[in-house]
């Protein structure tokens, strides 16, 4: 069964997207027993403050480690949405932080106020990355809830485990509320 699934997380530096990518890959591989590859590519846009992380998850060994057309794009900035939407598969999922992305290129997107949910759950928007993981897992089921919880707890910076698990729960809960529109 080739169930390869490609996820692109895109936004700006400081949003913690690389850590989110690592957590998602480790949830899949270490806790759910799948294979995963996690990549950061840095070009001139990195100097301009853009950031992106990619994760490929598969039951099979992953021979080709590059994300070409993503199955899921998470965009935490307008620039990221504009830049990477055209590289999403035709039936791919677009999830945007509607607090930051106001021009959405399709009426099929999940538009979720991720920063607001992070602030409400943890009093800080810095947890938007982990809220996003909850949303992605809640919508796709790409990894199990147990696996993502273990991976968040293992990778959250010392002293922030509880806050990040709250952010994760808020994302999972938001996924259940929001529907494509």
Q: Which residues are at the interface with a second copy (CB under 8 A)?
A: 18, 22, 25-26, 28-30, 33, 35-43, 46-47, 61-62, 64-66, 157-158
Closer by beta carbon to a second copy, 18 or else 165: 18
CB of 52 to a second copy, least distance (A): 11
Closer by beta carbon to a second copy, 24 or else 88: 24
Identify which of 49, 43, 56, 36 has the alpha carbon closest to the alpha carbon of residue 76. Answer: 49
Angstrom distance (rounded) from CA 3 to CA 159: 36
Burial class (CB in 10 A: 0-12, 13-18, 19+), 33: exposed
Closer by beta carbon to a second copy, 30 or else 169: 30
Q: Dmax of the chain from CA atoms?
A: 43
CB of 47 to a second copy, least distance (A): 6
CB of 33 to a second copy, least distance (A): 7
CB of 31 to a second copy, least distance (A): 9
Distances (CA, A) of 12 to 1, 8, 74, 81, 82: 35, 13, 12, 11, 13
Torsion of CA 40, 45, 51, 53, to 10 degrees: -30
Closer by beta carbon to a second copy, 78 or else 160: 160
Q: Mutual orientation of helices 17-26 and 128-140 as an angle, nearest 10°?
A: 40
Closer by beta carbon to a second copy, 22 or else 153: 22
CB of 13 to a second copy, least distance (A): 8
């Amino acid at each position: 069964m080739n169930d390869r699934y490609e996820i692109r997380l895109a936004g700006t530096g400081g949003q913690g997207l690389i850590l989110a990518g690592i957590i998602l890959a480790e949830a899949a591989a270490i806790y759910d027993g799948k294979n995963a590859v996690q990549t950061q590519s840095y070009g001139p846009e990195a100097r301009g403050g853009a950031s992106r992380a990619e994760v490929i998850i598969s039951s099979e060994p992953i021979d080709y480690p590059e994300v070409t057309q993503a199955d899921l794009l998470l965009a935490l900035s307008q620039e990221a949405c504009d830049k990477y939407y055209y590289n999403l598969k035709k039936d791919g999922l677009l999830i945007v932080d509607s607090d930051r992305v106001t021009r959405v290129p399709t009426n099929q997107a999940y538009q979720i106020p991720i920063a607001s949910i992070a602030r409400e759950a943890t009093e800080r928007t810095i947890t938007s990355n982990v809220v996003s993981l909850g949303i992605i897992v809640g919508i796709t089921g790409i990894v199990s809830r147990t696996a993502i919880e273990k991976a968040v707890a293992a990778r959250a910076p010392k002293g922030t485990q509880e806050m990040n698990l709250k952010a994760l729960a808020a994302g999972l809960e938001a996924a259940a509320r929001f529907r494509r529109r």
